[in-house]
């Protein structure tokens, strides 16, 4: 018997596979006990795919990604491949998926669990109860703009070129995602660019402003220059509700915001494509953290970002808010008992590895639901 819905699992490199192996136990529990009726397929991406197939992602895998309802992604990146061309690096796999599936809106929440307020490098009084959402554009901007490349001038000087480029529709559609999200939150969007030095930033500011006036008068819109935003995120992060920004600034600011929560190992993300006529939309869920080659293979990686990414999938792709909350509550409760992976250790807490952390969270999910 086949299920109507499909998930594609792409564990990738480094800590990706060892975390995914454990998190699969939670996914399978939801299939067994909560009626999550999905087929699961797995494929290689990143360095793992390079190793076997000579490319970071095969066309067949992109095709498969088009066909499924949701993708659960681990992490890509392996220093072994740092010397090869950009289009052959492990990172090209995630960039190709974003581009090919038109996954333009990357939602990166930064929420501080009460139990972890002390794990932040910022004082707890600045980060406790923090709850912000970064909406990052992910298929445009300087990551994809042309011309690009490295060229050699007649005098032998070499020149590296990338182009920051945004069009009105590209800005509008990502701003819409941010405004819609704000309506379900505190009703405040802060749009971030460098309109003081960049034309693409100036256009960004104009387009977001017009859209707010025309379609979202109920949402409060403010603007901030990207450098100031970086500073404000560490000075007073709770001033933000939703931040909307381009690809490059979003990459930087979301790493920065994630550290406010104590660890990069805590934060999930969802990357969404346009809504199609049949009501479906391509969606990829991945932790914000990378492949962490320095700790890969040791069984010590924090699985929480990957588990929370699955929770986001339940909420956004399968309309299962209750199941998502079940996971989030279980994680909160387990953190309250003092269990910690190495990256979020504070004095007086107990250190466990990936496997024990996942087992504890699954146990708590069972207890809360009274199932399994
Ligand atoms: C991210 C990562 C990626 C990016 C890399 C792996 C290409 O840093 O998802 O934030 O820069 O977008
Ligand atoms: Mg990044």
Q: pLDDT for 86-110, tens place per residue?
A: 899 999 999 999 999 999 999 999 9
Do residues 175 and 115 both lie within one domain? yes
Query: Cβ(286) to ligand 1 under 6 A?
Result: no
* C-alpha dihedral, 179 to 332 to 338 to 125, nearest 10°: 40
Q: Which atom of ligand 1 is nearest to the CA of 255?
A: 10
Final residue in a domain of this structure, among 244, 263, 282: 263
Cβ atoms of 351 and 345 within 8 Å: the answer is: yes
In a domain, 250, yes or no: yes
Q: Whose CA is nearest to atom 4 of ligand 1?
A: 251
In a domain, 32, yes or no: yes
In a domain, 312, yes or no: yes
Percent above pLDDT 90 for the chain: 91
How many CA atoms, within 13 angstroms, populate the side-chain half-sphere of residue 35? 3
Q: What is the mean pLDDT of the chain?
A: 96
For residue 2, the model assigns a pLDDT of 62
- Model confidence band, residue 259 (pLDDT cutoffs 50, 70, 90): confident
Final residue in a domain of this structure, among 208, 228, 263: 263
Do residues 332 and 238 both lie within one domain? no
CATH number at residue 209: 3.40.718.10
Mutual angle of helices 304-316 and 354-369, in 10-degree steps: 40
For residue 129, the model assigns a pLDDT of 92
The dihedrals phi and psi of 16, each to the nearest 5 degrees, come to -50, -60
In a domain, 235, yes or no: yes
Q: Which of 189, 292, 182 is nearest to 244 (CA)?
A: 189
Q: What's the token pair of residue 284?
A: 């990829």
Q: What's the token pair of residue 18?
A: 């060892």
Do residues 345 and 210 both lie within one domain? no
In a domain, 118, yes or no: yes
Do residues 159 and 92 both lie within one domain? no
- Model confidence band, residue 135 (pLDDT cutoffs 50, 70, 90): very high
Final residue in a domain of this structure, among 230, 263, 296: 263
Do residues 58 and 167 both lie within one domain? no
Q: Is 136 annotated as a binding-site member? A: yes
Query: Which residues share a beta bridge with 151?
Result: 159
Q: How far is 42 from 157, CA to CA, in rounded Å?
A: 46
Kindly give, in sequence order, each residue whose CB lies less than 8 Å from that of residue 345, ignoring residues fewer than 6 positions away.
Answer: 119, 351
Q: Is 301 annotated as a binding-site member? A: yes
Highest mean pLDDT among 103-117, 118-132, 214-228: 214-228
Do residues 94 and 124 both lie within one domain? no
Q: What's the token pair of residue 303?
A: 């699985």
CA of 289 to the centre of ligand 1 (A): 9
In a domain, 268, yes or no: no
Please determine, for residue 1, whether its predicted confidence score (pLDDT) is greater than 70.
no
Q: Which residues are known to be catalytic?
A: 143, 194, 227, 251, 255
Do residues 85 and 115 both lie within one domain? no
Cβ atoms of 331 and 307 within 8 Å: the answer is: yes
Query: Cβ(91) to ligand 1 under 6 A?
Result: yes
In a domain, 353, yes or no: yes
Pocket mutation for ligand 1, best pick of 94, 103, 245 (most atoms within 8 Å of C-beta):
94
Q: Is 295 annotated as a binding-site member? A: yes
CA of 251 to the centre of ligand 2 (A): 5
Q: Is 237 left (phi over 0), alpha (psi -120 to 50) or beta?
A: alpha
Do residues 133 and 15 both lie within one domain? no
Query: Cβ(95) to ligand 1 under 6 A?
Result: yes
- Model confidence band, residue 262 (pLDDT cutoffs 50, 70, 90): confident
pLDDT digits (tens, 9 = 90+) for 7-52: 999 999 999 999 999 999 999 999 999 999 999 999 999 999 999 9
Q: Is 243 annotated as a binding-site member? A: no
Mean pLDDT confidence for 129-148: 97
Do residues 22 and 93 both lie within one domain? yes
Q: Which atom of ligand 1 is nearest to the CA of 251?
A: 10
Q: Which of 99, 168, 100, 173 is nearest to 140 (CA)?
A: 99
Q: Per the structure, how many domains does the chain have?
A: 2
Mutual angle of helices 354-369 and 321-336, in 10-degree steps: 120
CA of 104 to the centre of ligand 1 (A): 13
Q: Which of 27, 29, 11 is nearest to 19 (CA)?
A: 11
Q: What's the token pair of residue 232?
A: 């404000």
Q: How far is 281 from 276, CA to CA, in rounded Å?
A: 6
Q: How far is 19 from 301, CA to CA, in rounded Å?
A: 7
The dihedrals phi and psi of 145, each to the nearest 5 degrees, come to -60, 145
Assign 208 to helix, strand or coil. Answer: helix
For 260, the enclosing helix (H) or strand (E) is: helix 247-260
Q: Which atom of ligand 1 is nearest to the CA of 106?
A: 9
For residue 352, the model assigns a pLDDT of 97
Do residues 237 and 195 both lie within one domain? yes
For residue 356, the model assigns a pLDDT of 98
Do residues 165 and 301 both lie within one domain? no
Residue 87: burial class (beta carbons within 10 Å; 0-12, 13-18, 19+): exposed
Q: How far is CA 208 from the centre of its chain?
A: 23
Query: Residue 248's domain spans which residues?
Result: 110-263
In a domain, 42, yes or no: yes
Please give the DSSP secondary-structure letter assigned to residue 217.
T
Do residues 73 and 202 both lie within one domain? no
- Model confidence band, residue 305 (pLDDT cutoffs 50, 70, 90): very high
Q: What's the token pair of residue 168?
A: 């009105």
């Amino acid at each position: 018997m086949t299920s109507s819905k499909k998930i594609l699992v792409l564990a990738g490199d480094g800590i990706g596979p060892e975390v995914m192996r454990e998190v699969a136990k939670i996914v399978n529990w939801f299939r067994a006990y909560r009626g999550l009726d999905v087929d699961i397929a797995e494929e290689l991406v990143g360095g793992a795919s390079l190793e076997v197939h000579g490319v970071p992602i095969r066309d067949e895998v992109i095709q498969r990604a088009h066909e499924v309802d949701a993708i659960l992604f681990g992490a890509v990146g392996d220093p072994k491949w740092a010397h090869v061309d950009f289009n052959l690096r492990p990172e090209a796999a995630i960039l190709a998926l974003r581009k090919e599936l038109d996954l333009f809106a990357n939602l990166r929440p930064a929420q501080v669990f009460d139990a972890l307020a002390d794990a932040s490098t910022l004082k707890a009084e600045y980060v406790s109860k923090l709850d912000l959402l970064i909406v990052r554009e992910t298929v445009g901007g300087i990551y994809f703009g042309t011309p690009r490349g490295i060229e050699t001038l007649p005098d032998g000087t070499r020149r590296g070129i990338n182009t920051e480029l945004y069009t009105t529709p590209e800005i509008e559609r990502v701003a819409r995602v941010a405004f819609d999200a704000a309506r379900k939150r505190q009703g405040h969007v802060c749009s971030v660019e460098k309109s003081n030095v960049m034309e693409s930033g100036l256009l960004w500011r104009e387009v977001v402003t017009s859209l707010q006036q025309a379609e979202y008068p109920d949402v409060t819109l403010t603007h901030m220059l990207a450098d100031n935003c970086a500073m404000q995120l560490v000075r007073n992060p709770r001033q933000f509700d939703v931040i909307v920004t381009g690809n490059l600034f979003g990459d930087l600011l979301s790493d920065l915001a994630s550290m406010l929560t104590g660890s990069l190992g805590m934060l999930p993300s969802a990357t969404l494509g346009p809504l199609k006529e049949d009501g479906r939309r391509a969606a990829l869920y991945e932790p914000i953290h990378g492949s962490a080659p320095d700790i890969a293979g040791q069984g010590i990686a924090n699985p929480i970002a990957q588990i929370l990414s699955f929770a986001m999938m339940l909420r956004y792709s399968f309309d299962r808010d209750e199941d998502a909350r079940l996971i989030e509550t279980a994680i909160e409760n387990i953190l309250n008992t003092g269990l910690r992976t190495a990256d979020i250790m504070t004095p007086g807490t107990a250190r466990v590895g990936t496997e024990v952390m996942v087992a504890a969270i699954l146990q708590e999910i069972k207890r809360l639901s009274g199932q399994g």
